[in-house]
Structure 1
Amino acid sequence: MTKHNNLQSISVRIAVKTPAVSRALEEIVSTLDGFEQQLDEKATQTDVLVLEVGDNPAKEFETVRALLEDGVVNQVFLTSAKTTTDILLPALRTGAKQFFQQPLVFQEVQQAFVDIHKERIAGEGIAVEKVSIKPGKMVSVLGAKGGVGTTTVAVNLAVSLNRLYPEKTIALVDMNRVLGEVTVFLDLQTEFNWDELVKNISRLDPAYLAKALIQSAPGLYVMPAPNSIESGSQVSSQVMKQVLETTKNSFDFVIVDAGTQVGASAFRIFSSSDTIALITTLSLPCIINVKRLLGTMRLLGSIPMNNINIIANRFEKKSAISLEDTEKMTGHSVYSTLPNDYQKTLEAINTGKPLVDVAKNSQLVKSLNKLAESLIVKEEPVVKRKSWFW
């Protein structure tokens, strides 16, 4: 980190009772140019306060709000050994800049201080070099109609990528505004969802995004849908696009469960997607819907038609409507098929497990793995970048 002598040092007050955590924070501050630990007990103002959440979090959160409102501190970092929702959710709402789970991740805390320094530099009008981050690959999974297996495909594509590329990070975003089910499919419990992000859209950055996602497996993170229908329905399409763009800039792969939505928000999502996996079954109502969807997308002109891949789910070779019939009716080729395995799929859903953990050697899992790989453009290796999630 480059030192700027014309900038006043950023003062840091460490209010942490756990000795090991306090020492770690002191070491981090000491390694950074532009920062100094504030040791003067009589000081009436500090730039950054690092506060450990203790036995009375409600009182401490109220103190944080008061300190920020009165201008006694400019930024607050919170830390705690507890990460239950009754701690984490109120902590994010206090106005605190960051929340660090204990044991501390050195790089995460260090980056938080670096970001503060960058903000100070920008405020002083000093030019800094901008770092270009190549966005991740985003695949939106859209259902031709309800009940075709959209969430099943989205969840298991994300899990397949996670197993095939363990060194990379994957975000699974549940954009199903009406009763999203991704957390049920993976047996996850959380009160966080993207409604929390849009309420604090002015604070949205990779660090804040990290706090709203739940880890399903190493490298695989889930952004749940709102718990109530009303919450999701009030979000503007522009805000949702901002959430997804931040997610793309923070992960290698992003899988979006778009449900069956085809409104303004959905088309903004699709226009930002590298690939759209349009899920259908070989039934006449579904194929008619596929034709309508393709026609609408073609008319809009904002979505390249070669980005749209029709996936025939629950495929059986003796289906009354063939793949050739489907392509003639829709005017679009069928990209891939996923074989019908109703029993194993139902078992996976009912136990909250991905299909690979229920039927590892099944033809369906093999087809999902092949589809996951084919949807990811491998023009060049994806370089693992610094992130709050690793």
Structure 2
Amino acid sequence: MSNVLRLAIVDPNDATRESLKSTLMGLETVWLEAECSRYAFFKDVLEQTNPDVGFIAIDGDPDEAVRLVEELAHAKPSVSLLVSSSSTDGNLILRTMRAGAKEFLPNPIKPEDLASALQRVSRTKFGAVDGKNRGCQVTVVAGATGGVGATSLAVNLGCQLASDPSNSVVLLDLDLALGDADVFLDSIPEYTLTDVAQNITRLDFTLLKRSLTKHSTNLYLLPRPVQLEDSQLVTTDDLTRVIGLLKATFSHLIIDASKSFQSLDLLAMEQADNVLMVTQLDLPCLRNVVRLLMSFEQMGGLNEKIKIVVNRVGQGGASISIKKAQETLGREIYWQLPNDYKTMIEVRNNGVPLIEQAPKAAITSSISQLADSLTGKQSSVAPAELAGKGRNWLGLWGKGAKAPEAAAQSAE
């Protein structure tokens, strides 16, 4: 249990204390060391257990609780003190912070707010892990068109990451109309994204995990709605809260985007660390990538997250080379996935991921290396021939045609 925060809590109110305990139980990076119902006994509890974090609910007696915070800040400086209250009185908040509290959380406590506060404490106590902050890495997988293998990549990338015991991984199927991540995993989920969205205000980490489907690879899945009409029930506010809860609960969140690039997809991409744009070496796919990149340039910071992944490299009949595609797109191709149509058809029809069905296949090895690259275990593999940087917009927009001015400016 290295790098796990050990907590002790004090709250005279049994109901709110139990609610807090339930929320904490869903966090894998937290261990509840002790609980207390009396402010007068809490110092002794900390002396006996020596936790990393002391959580103090101050509504029972704000004056006594603030005095306790001040006393503990001097007596136990190694313990980070978190305070919660239903009061929004600025003076009370100021008093608790001056007394030595590291964080002030308003009641009722939102699980994602609690997780964020604990992550800040964790970063202060443990520092970075492998040069990176502890937290959730969000990766959106999007296809330049249908049928390019985006869902296959999302599912198998998630399974690959989940095979590492140090990772906790969840896959969110955001193709609300035609998503089929559950088919790739041969699972029949009991709950869907719509169920979670409709109960979002009542969810904590424990209930959220119970709403997910766990695969044998340890990958968790939150699938698309069953009924087509239910896809309209998920709002951007719902999705923001769902992503917040998933980020607070897991170390990796993979989102399989739809091909419509509508508001939910763009919201997910805005919150992502990486966006894998899956394409193939044919003119329609590359043309779509160019159009998308041009649109993303108008969305602050989004274009920098895009990583081009070329799928089915080496398939017969491809007339566009990797080098030509690189020159046309004006950026390096981040990853190449080899063509292994037969294996991919087998794993899809059997509902078994590559890591279980074909662990020694070249495509499995490539996805494993991609997972390592995304998590910083190795640098991305870019073939030497991808050195060219110039954009050839005219090659996609037709002979004699001119690319839009915005595209030309971005190429400079």
Q: TM-score, normalised by structure 2?
A: 0.62
CA distance in 2, matches of 1:374, 1:367: 10
CA distance in 2, matches of 1:176, 1:296: 20
Structure 1 residues 118 and 370: CA distance shift in structure 2, 3 A: farther
Corresponding residue for 2:216?
Answer: 217
Which whole-Å deviations, capped at 9, do the CAs of 1:52-88 have from their partners, x for residues lacking one?
xxxxxxxxxxxxxxxxxxxxxxxxxxxxxxxxxxxxx
Structure 1 residues 145 and 132: CA distance shift in structure 2, 3 A: same
Corresponding residue for 2:277?
Answer: 278
CA distance in 2, matches of 1:207, 1:116: 22
Is 2:375 the partner of 1:376? yes
CA distance in 2, matches of 1:179, 1:362: 28
Corresponding residue for 2:64?
Answer: none
Structure 1 residues 145 and 218: CA distance shift in structure 2, 3 A: closer
Secondary structure of 2:359's partner?
coil
Task: Letter of the 2:158 partner, please give it.
Answer: A
Structure 1 residues 220 and 329: CA distance shift in structure 2, 3 A: same
Corresponding residue for 1:122?
Answer: 85
Corresponding residue for 1:192?
Answer: 191
Secondary structure of 1:328's partner?
helix
Corresponding residue for 1:155?
Answer: 155
Which whole-Å deviations, capped at 9, do the CAs of 1:225-282 have from their partners, x for residues lacking one?
1112221234222321221122112111111111313112211111110000000111
Task: Letter of the 2:312 partner, please give it.
Answer: R
Q: Structure 1 regions of 5+ residues with no counterpart?
A: 14-30, 36-113, 380-390
Structure 1 residues 234 and 151: CA distance shift in structure 2, 3 A: same
How far off its partner does 1:298 sit? 0.8
Corresponding residue for 2:321?
Answer: 322
Q: Structure 2 regions of 5+ residues with no counterpart?
A: 1-7, 19-33, 39-53, 61-83, 104-116, 120-133, 379-412
Task: Letter of the 1:306 partner, please give it.
Answer: E
Q: Is the CA contact (8 Å cut-off) linking 2:313 and 2:339 kept in structure 1?
A: yes
Task: Letter of the 2:202 partner, please give it.
Answer: R
Secondary structure of 1:217's partner?
coil
Percent identity, aligned pairs only? Answer: 29
Match for residue 132 of structure 1 among 118, 124, 138: 118
Task: Letter of the 2:155 partner, please give it.
Answer: V
Structure 1 residues 8 and 172: CA distance shift in structure 2, 3 A: closer
Structure 1 residues 239 and 34: CA distance shift in structure 2, 3 A: same
Structure 1 residues 34 and 371: CA distance shift in structure 2, 3 A: same
CA distance in 2, matches of 1:366, 1:228: 36
Say how many residue pairs are matched: 281
Structure 1 residues 357 and 2: CA distance shift in structure 2, 3 A: closer
Which aligned pairs between 1:1-390 and structure 2 lie closer than 5 A? 1-3=8-10, 7=12, 9=14, 32-34=35-37, 122-123=85-86, 130=103, 131-133=117-119, 134-163=134-163, 165-217=164-216, 219-303=218-302, 305-316=303-314, 319-377=318-376
Which structure ranks higher in relative contact order (CA pairs < 8 Å, sequence separation ≥ 6)? Answer: 1
CA distance in 2, matches of 1:361, 1:214: 27
Q: Is the CA contact (8 Å cut-off) linking 2:10 and 2:55 kept in structure 1?
A: no
Structure 1 residues 118 and 142: CA distance shift in structure 2, 3 A: farther
Task: Letter of the 1:308 partner, please give it.
Answer: I
Which whole-Å deviations, capped at 9, do the CAs of 1:268-311 have from their partners, x for residues lacking one?
111110000000111111111111111110122241x3321111
Structure 1 residues 251 and 9: CA distance shift in structure 2, 3 A: closer
Q: Alignment RMSD, CA only?
A: 2.9
Q: Is the CA contact (8 Å cut-off) linking 2:191 and 2:212 kept in structure 1?
A: yes
Secondary structure of 1:300's partner?
coil
Corresponding residue for 1:91?
Answer: none
CA distance in 2, matches of 1:119, 1:140: 41
Q: Is the CA contact (8 Å cut-off) linking 1:162 and 1:169 kept in structure 2?
A: yes
Q: TM-score, normalised by structure 1?
A: 0.66
CA distance in 1, matches of 2:340, 2:58: 53
How far off its partner does 1:204 sit? 3.4
